[in-house]
Amino acid sequence: MPAIQREFVWSTNQITKLFDSIMRGYPVGSFLLWDVKRETAQSYTFYEFLTNFHERDNPYADKATVPAGAGTTAVLDGQQRLTSLNIALYGSFAEKKKYAWWNSPDAFPVKRLYLNLVEDPEDEELGLKYDLRFLTDKDAAAECDAEDKWFRVGAVLDLANSGPAIMKELEHRRISNSGDAFQRLYDLYEAVRILKPMNYFLVTDQDPDKVLEIFVRVNSGGTTLSYSDLLLSMATNQWKDLDAREEVRSLVSDLNSNASRQFAFTKDIVLKTALTIAGVDVRFKVSNFTQGNMAKVEAAWPQIEGALLRAATLLQQFGYHERNLTANSVIIPIAHYLHLRGAGDSYLDSTADASDRLNLQRWVTRSLIKRGIWGSSLDTTLTRIRDVLVAESTSGFPVVSVEGAMAAVGKGLSFDAAEIDELLNLKYAGQRTFAVLSVLYPGLDLGKKFHEDHIFPKSRFTRKKLAKAGIPADKIDDFLAAFDLLPNLQLLAGTANIEKQDVLPGDWTASAFPSDEKRRIYLEENDLDGLSLDLADFMTFFEQRKMRIRNRLIKALGALPPSVAAED
């Protein structure tokens, strides 16, 4: 593949549908190939096709080596389909299980494509004729003496013929209904070994501009080529000393998989930051992808890389990770500010910069709490912030000027009373809940692992348990509606949260803080002092703490209390 190709993006569903179409004899589109002559091949970077896709450990194709003095054939259109066929026949697919942690060793089960020889698909909505699934080898294995119905698709290449070899395979698998099973395996054999449902067109032009134009045109359908893909593709061919694709891949991996932080930043974020720091138009427009602009990005790359890594570390120190950072774009102005200041690693923990880090943290948190800041008109917002930072970053993060520029484009960070009341109804593990809790209780060292925690434990809030605890039947619905909301939440260190489990707050504070002084500090810092911590008084506790939190938010976010707002 030429380097202008994007990364592999197809899902397992897309791969199985493609194979189902091939087995049914449907046309699967033509391929556009490029006959690269030997004098042209040495000027380009090429990549192999992925065989064993692993979302974390091996998401990208390796560089290909074209022997000196040799030409090659490259794929301009059809890369996704050809890679899918390669994975289905020769390789595997490992993607993260839902809700699994990125760094968990069991989060990415390795699966291969299998054909069910015995049964038709259960899910008719996919429109498949054949039951094709990506399964782990363990899941595909038959139980002792049972029909071995799952046939690995790639194993069809090992069958000697489409007659006796298939019958022998079915007998070996103890499949009784050999008629239907024979037909399914025969269809697979014919599709892979005999039929040719594909055709191709060969481009022989060696002019790189014309080849790029063809590439962009034919990639306008299917999974659309994004402008960030195009930028990365063009940068790969225009950078002189560095390989843009390798550099961006490596940086995305470093940002997301560091031992002390877990994020989900994309190459789009990296490229947008690169344009911002390089001082060029931040929009992903073809007219911006000039050789001159790409040269600026390449020249600034070491600074871009360092600034982004430090910005990610700062976000980790602010308590954010892949699950609670609700807008990845916030890292762009942080990285730009660190770059303009020439901030090194010492900025991250120096006492002299503590006040500036706090100002930056408060701005980040407010921007994540306020709805709509990092959504629409993102490029305009980033450009306005960049202009302010370029002009006023020498003496610290210019919070007032940055917020003024944001307000001028409808992205103000002021909160009214209605917005404060909305925040009070945030739920446990909600998108903005962590950010609000971090604003409420800023004294915590969020660089350590803190969990959102129910003060009155969630496990106590079932109808059966509440009734058993003596809560009147007409109050139980109120308890159930309130326990998961912000007034019953706090941030608690990971170890303490595990130890607390389902213990009621009165009992837990007595055991966790044996000295009166430490217990008093904890209660005051979490707006619990003077409140009843008895389950029977939960609704009174909830309403009283709700008002305390409301007052804290008004003070922290600069909102006016209702009485003042009414007078205005």
Residue 566 has pLDDT above 50, yes or no: no
Cβ atoms within 10 A of the Cβ of 109, count?
18
Nearest to 198 by CA among 16, 6, 33: 33
pLDDT band at 568 (very low <50, low <70, confident <90, very high): very low
Domain segments of the chain as ranges: 12-200, 226-413, 420-567
pLDDT band at 46 (very low <50, low <70, confident <90, very high): confident
- Whether 265 shows a pLDDT value over 90: the answer reads yes
Q: What is the 3-state secondary structure (H, E, C) of 156-215?
A: HHHCCCCCHHHHHHHHHCCCCCHHHHHHHHHHHHHHHHHCCCCEEEEECCCCHHHHHHHH
- Of 290, 195, 298, the closest CA to residue 248 belongs to 298
Nearest alpha-carbon partner for 134 in 91, 194, 83:
91
The per-residue pLDDT for 219 is 64
Q: What percent of the chain has pLDDT over 70?
A: 90
Average pLDDT over residues 204-220: 71
Beta bridge partners of 433: none
> 401 by DSSP, 3-state: which?
helix
209 CB neighbour count, 10 Å cutoff: 8
What is the pLDDT, as a whole number, of residue 157? 94
Per-residue pLDDT averaged across 494-513, rounded? 79
Q: pLDDT over 90 for what percent of the chain? A: 60
| Residues shown for the chain | 568
Rounded average pLDDT over 280-300: 82
Task: Provide the pLDDT for residue 352.
Answer: 95
Residue (of 279, 285, 277) closest to 343 by Cα position:
277
As a whole number, mean pLDDT of residues 9-35 equals 90
131 and 184 Cβ atoms separated by less than 8 Å: no
Q: How confident is the model at residue 565 (pLDDT cuts 50, 70, 90)?
A: very low
Mean pLDDT across 323-336: 95
pLDDT digits (tens, 9 = 90+) for 454-501: 999 999 999 999 999 999 999 999 999 999 999 999 988 766 556 577
- Predicted local confidence at residue 478, as pLDDT: 97
Instruction: Quote the strand ranges of 30-140, DSSP E.
Output: 30-36, 52-54, 72-77, 92-94, 112-116, 132-135
Q: What is the mean pLDDT of the chain?
A: 88
The C-alpha atoms of residue 317 and residue 302 are separated, in whole angstroms, by 23
Per-residue pLDDT averaged across 229-235, rounded?
69
**In 3D, which of 100, 494, 487 has the Cα closest to residue 323?**
100
Least confident of 53-57, 337-341, 458-462, 564-568: 564-568
**Radius of gyration, CA atoms only, the chain:** 29
> Mean pLDDT, to the nearest integer, of 62-75?
87
In this prediction, residues 430-443 reach a mean pLDDT of: 88
Q: Name the pLDDT band for 567 (thresholds 50, 70, 90).
A: very low
